[in-house]
Structures are given as C-alpha cells and as structure tokens.
Amino acid sequence: MEILDEEQLKMAETLLSDLFPQSLQVYGYIFQMNRVKSDHMDVLVDRWPDFRVILIRPLREKEGDFFKDVSVYSKDGDKLKKILLETEIVNWQNYLCLGIDLCYEEMITSIAATRGATGNKLAVCHMLRLQDPSHLPQTDSSTVAISSLDESHISLVNKTWKFGEGEHSVEFIKNMIRYLPTCCVLDTDGQPVAWILTYNYCALGMLYTQPEHRGKGYAKILISAISKKLHTQGYPVFCFIEEENQHSFRLFKSLGFTEEPSYRAAWFNFNQFG
C-alpha cells in the first residue's frame, strides 16, 4: 500500500464524498487533515487513484494517541482480507481499536484470531447525518449562554466521558478542544454545565449534561448550535449513536438527522491495555 501525499489527500476527499455513508468516517479524517494539522496519521491505499481499500493509521507517539482509531473503508472484502492477513499495515500485537463497516465483522474476528490478537466488538452504531440545518431550532441568547470549551475544561470533560481513562485520555481531549469545534452551555458563574465536542474524524460526540441541569433542553440547543457552526464551515455534520442508546437516537432524529438503515458502523478492541 502507498501513503497519500497532500495533493492526493485533497483528491481523496472529493472521491470519498461520492461514497457516503460507508466512507464518511474515513472522509472525516481526511477532511480534518486537509485543514487542521493537529494529528499525525498516514492515509494508505492499495492503489491510486482507483483504490479499493483506504486505511487511516494513526502514528502513536504518546499515551493519548492510543485513543486514535485505525479506520477502514473498503469496496472489496477480498482485497481487504488479503491486506490484513499478508501485510504489516496494521499492528495486531499492540493495542488496536479498529473502526469499520459492520458487514466485515466475521472477517475481522477471523483475522484477529489468526494474528493472535485478543479482543471483542466494542460498539455497533447508527450513523446519523444532517444534510439540511435550516430546520434546526433557534436559540434565545438572552436566556441561554452559549460558548466554546477551552483547555481549562479538559478535566471536566475527561471525567464524564464514557471512554475516559484518567490521565491516558487527557491529551486526546485536549487536542479536540484545542483544534476542533466545541460548544457548551454556561451557568451564571461562566462554568460549563453541558457540552458537545467534535472528534478528529468530524463526528459530533461526548454530548453530556450534568445531572442537576438535565431536563432543560440543553442537549437539543447544543446539537443545533454546533451543527449550524459545522455546516457554515463546510464540515460534514454527522454522529455515531450506539444501537442501545435509543434516547440519543430519537433526539438526533427529532432534529432532522437521517440514517441509511442498511449501514452500521462497528468498532473492535484488541489487546486492551490497562
């Protein structure tokens, strides 16, 4: 496989935009890489420009980098299987979190066993996209204070994130707050009581409202505000919702997000550290 250079990455963004929704996560990584130089990643293809497999591989240089997933888009299951079995593109001996179309579950499980990697399926998610933000509700700025997170809020976000791992995940969240769009609701003391962030592959995530402030509609306000911001800046507006999280699924659907029913995204965890 070959690593794409800057000019090829720009072309890849265009090519992948015609292959939604299956390509959207890989597209999101490349979209960010073409605009924000915050993460060190390789984008590899089996051939260029008529690729059948495209793989995002993070360069893990420090602890926080272990929260960066390997992400794969493939048009050809046989070619993908050959690459994963016969090359060292993916390191199956170290910790690995792999994001891929759920249709490849049996293949990934089999390859992992062959490679001696132990792990499990971490999550299966709906992908929801917002293509038209014009129907999102307006926010009354006189009653709700909306702002962006800053680095003083890293600890607050980290300790409430479902996948937070103490100090291990601090650097990951720091990069999200430093380089990517965020949105929060502030209380009268100027402290965040609810927030939403953008992952390094452009998806909305880490939506959270502190328990004592729930029931006030803050989640809907935040999704609307950040979706409008992202759309204005040319970002794709989408999120992944775990299948069991029906509350969030209904919330995003009520705001105009739609899904492709035949598609599910999955993450697989191997050689878990800690």
Query: Across-strand partners of 100?
Result: 266
The CA-atom distances, in angstroms, between 3 and each of 42, 44, 61 are 6, 4, 18
Instruction: Indicate if 18 and 74 belong to the same structural domain.
Output: yes
Instruction: Indicate if 112 and 61 belong to the same structural domain.
Output: yes
* Axis-axis angle for helices 6-16, 24-33 (nearest 10): 150
Instruction: Indicate if 158 and 210 belong to the same structural domain.
Output: yes
140 backbone dihedrals φ, ψ, rounded to 5°: -85, 105
Cα(53)–Cα(251) distance, integer angstroms? 34
Instruction: Indicate if 12 and 50 belong to the same structural domain.
Output: yes
Cα(208)–Cα(224) distance, integer angstroms? 14
Instruction: Indicate if 121 and 150 belong to the same structural domain.
Output: no
Instruction: Indicate if 55 and 109 belong to the same structural domain.
Output: yes
Q: What is the CATH number of the domain that holds 211?
A: 3.40.630.30
133 falls within a domain: no
135 falls within a domain: no
33 falls within a domain: yes
25 falls within a domain: yes
Question: Per-residue confidence at 62, pLDDT binned at 50, 70, 90?
Answer: low
Instruction: Indicate if 159 and 114 belong to the same structural domain.
Output: no
pLDDT tens track for 74-106: 999 999 999 999 999 998 988 889 999 999 999
Instruction: Indicate if 108 and 156 belong to the same structural domain.
Output: no
Question: Per-residue confidence at 139, pLDDT binned at 50, 70, 90?
Answer: confident
Instruction: Indicate if 38 and 90 belong to the same structural domain.
Output: yes
pLDDT reading at 162 higher than 90: no
12 falls within a domain: yes
Per the structure, the complete domain to which residue 208 belongs is given by 146-261
Number of structural domains in the chain: 2
How do strand 192-198 and strand 70-74 relate by DSSP bridges? Answer: unpaired
| pLDDT value of residue 260 | 87
132 falls within a domain: no
97 falls within a domain: yes
Alpha helix segments (H runs only) across 233-258: 246-254
30 falls within a domain: yes
Instruction: Indicate if 110 and 153 belong to the same structural domain.
Output: no
Instruction: Indicate if 91 and 157 belong to the same structural domain.
Output: no
Instruction: Indicate if 215 and 251 belong to the same structural domain.
Output: yes
Cα(232)–Cα(243) distance, integer angstroms? 29
pLDDT tens track for 183-213: 999 999 999 999 999 999 999 999 999 999 9
